[in-house]
Chains A and B, each alone.
Chain A
Amino acid sequence: MKDLSRRSFLRAAIGVTIVGATSSVISLFAPGKLKAASAATDMQPGGFPDGYDPFAHLFSYVIDLKKCIGCGSCVRACKKENDVPDEFYRTWVERYQKGRDRPVEIDSPDGGLYGFPSSTAGTEGVSKAYYVPKMCNHCAQTPCVQVCPFSATYLSPDGLVLVDGERCMGCGYCVQACPYASRFLNPRTKTADKCTWCYHRISRGLRPACVQACPTGTRMFGDVKDPYDPVRHIIDTERIGVLQPQMLTKPKCYYIGLDKEVR
């Protein structure tokens, strides 16, 4: 009796294994076809926009923390430009508050989408406070690209880290691998999603939506292959930092006025 049940269990287990292996082989052959409708709803026709050569640029981003007022305009612009699903963020803003006798407090209500609540209560003893906008750092040594089993996420010639929605299987390895929590699985497309520095804009000579919406000049975007670019000038001449340098990911988002508490 006992033996029989074991045999039927083994048989079932083998069956499941075979079915699983077959379906994963099928999905290997036709990765895109198993996917639900792709993310793009508003596709523009065509190849590269006129006059755009991805090999002629190398983009970088500078965030001047001394200027940020935590208004959240950048988060709102990103949501509207990129149709980011509710409760997910491609860019978000954090607030850091600390004092000699107070531990660091970090909050980011709704990613800063609606700004930050007034702080008239509960800020006694805060001696240092600031906002930190965050997003994908478009790392040059990316853990997210290294772990992708399908080469779905990659480093583009112009320095961006992008996700190919047709090849992405939504396994989530890259979401786990990113030390900055920049990625999420899009519940609509079931693929990895994150900031693209508005690739559909910058390849047409426009600025990313967050940079354009920022009223204080906190966010700056530029091309370090252009010798007259102001962002390249800042990177070359000012004291800048990157998030979690110990991770050796070589981010291309640089921060002016970064504090040791920011991680």
Chain B
Amino acid sequence: MEHSKHLWRAVLILLVLSLGYLLGRGLLVPDTFGEYGHFRGANLAEQMNVRVPNHGIGPESCAPCHAERVKNIAKTPHRVINCETCHGPLRTHVDYPSIEAFMKNPSQFKRTAPMEIHSAQDLCIKCHDAQPAKPKGFPTVEVVQHLKEMGVEPGPNVCMECHDPHDPKI
């Protein structure tokens, strides 16, 4: 059986090749690849935990400390605005380790810094400046003209002289 040598040689080569393939594949393909689809499955959980949410859950996250404010603004047209839209993300004001812990008992977390307060120039005008692209029926003013009519000097907090953002009374 002199010729069986060729056979064994072929088997050996095939073995080495398939071992090489398995080794290479093991090194190249991450552990959880293909768990949920054609991607590294562990990334799903990584993405869900990429950071602690900076914005809260809406006015409900402010109410434990600012109940009166939240209740009063609900009676005004500005009730549609989330507190954080004007004030900035909650987590710059209260530090919580996870949003789950915060939702369970919001008032247990300490205030770390004052909440952002924007000037009228930074904020009111962004919504209420008259522009052709604004939807019909949305309350806007030609700011320069409006100030002239009202006899008010332009300035950074000029809107607040007549309008309270928490109760705008138009």
Q: Give chain A nearest CB distance to B123 CB in angstroms.
A: 9
Contact pick for B85, options A29, A215, A217, CB 8 Å: A215
Given the complex, which residues of A lie within 8 Å of B47, measured CB to CB? Answer: 162, 196, 199-200
Interface pair A42/B51, CB less than 8 Å apart? yes
Interface pair A44/B51, CB less than 8 Å apart? yes
Q: A29-B27, A49-B100 are in contact. Are A213 and B53 (CB under 8 A)?
A: no
Quick one: which of B88-112 are within 8 Å of A by CB? 88-89, 98-100
Interface pair A157/B133, CB less than 8 Å apart? no
Name 7 extra pairs, CB < 8 A, besides A48-B45, A204-B100, A215-B81. A43-B49, A77-B89, A81-B55, A130-B133, A156-B44, A157-B44, A166-B43
Interface pair B82/A213, CB less than 8 Å apart? yes
Interface range on chain A (Cβ under 8 Å from partner): 35 or more
Interface pair A116/B48, CB less than 8 Å apart? no
Given the complex, which residues of A lie within 8 Å of B113, measured CB to CB? Answer: none
Given the complex, which residues of B lie within 8 Å of A155, measured CB to CB? Answer: 37
**Interface-facing stretch out of B12-20, B65-73, B138-146, B155-163:** B138-146
Interface pair B132/A29, CB less than 8 Å apart? no
Interface pair A77/B49, CB less than 8 Å apart? no
Q: Give chain A nearest CB distance to B104 CB in angstroms.
A: 11
Interface pair B126/A97, CB less than 8 Å apart? no
Q: Is B52 an interface residue (CB 8 A)?
A: yes
Q: Is B127 an interface residue (CB 8 A)?
A: yes
Contact with A along B32-55 (1 / 0, CB 8 A): 010011111001111111111111
**Interface-facing stretch out of A7-15, A119-127, A135-143:** A119-127
Q: A43-B51, A44-B52, A157-B36 are in contact. Are A71 and B43 (CB under 8 A)?
A: no
Quick one: which of A143-189 are within 8 Å of B by CB? 151-152, 154-157, 162, 164, 166-167
Given the complex, which residues of A lie within 8 Å of B4, measured CB to CB? Answer: none
Q: Once A and B bind, how many residue pairs between them come within 8 Å at the CB atom? A: 169
Q: A67-B135, A69-B134 are in contact. Are A164 and B39 (CB under 8 A)?
A: yes
Please name the 6 residue pairs, one residue from A and one from B, whose CB atoms are nearest each other, closest first. A154-B39, A115-B126, A129-B133, A44-B49, A129-B132, A42-B51
Given the complex, which residues of B lie within 8 Å of A116, measured CB to CB? Answer: 131, 133
Q: Is A231 an interface residue (CB 8 A)?
A: no
Secondary structure dominating the interface of A: loop
Given the complex, which residues of B lie within 8 Å of A157, measured CB to CB? Answer: 36-37, 44
Q: Is B167 an interface residue (CB 8 A)?
A: no
Given the complex, which residues of B lie within 8 Å of A204, measured CB to CB? Answer: 48, 53, 99-100
Given the complex, which residues of A lie within 8 Å of B82, measured CB to CB? Answer: 212-213, 215
Q: A151-B39, A209-B55 are in contact. Are A81 and B126 (CB under 8 A)?
A: no
Quick one: which of A14-57 are within 8 Å of B by CB? 28-29, 39-50, 52, 54
Given the complex, which residues of A lie within 8 Å of B46, measured CB to CB? Answer: 40, 164, 166
Quick one: which of A55-93 are within 8 Å of B by CB? 66-73, 77, 80-83
Q: A43-B50, A46-B49, A120-B142 are in contact. Are A129 and B89 (CB under 8 A)?
A: no
Q: CA A70 – CA B135 in complex, angstroms?
A: 10
Q: Is B7 an interface residue (CB 8 A)?
A: no
Given the complex, which residues of B lie within 8 Å of A72, measured CB to CB? Answer: 126
Q: Give chain B nearest CB distance to A231 CB in angstroms.
A: 17
Beta-carbon nearest neighbor of B33 in chain A? A151
Given the complex, which residues of B lie within 8 Å of A154, measured CB to CB? Answer: 37-39, 43
Q: A66-B135, A71-B126 are in contact. Are A48 and B55 (CB under 8 A)?
A: no
Q: CA A114 – CA B130 in complex, angstroms?
A: 16
Beta-carbon nearest neighbor of A70 in chain B? B133
Q: Is A246 an interface residue (CB 8 A)?
A: no
Q: Is B125 an interface residue (CB 8 A)?
A: yes
Q: Give chain B nearest CB distance to A158 CB in angstroms.
A: 9
Beta-carbon nearest neighbor of A210 in chain B? B55
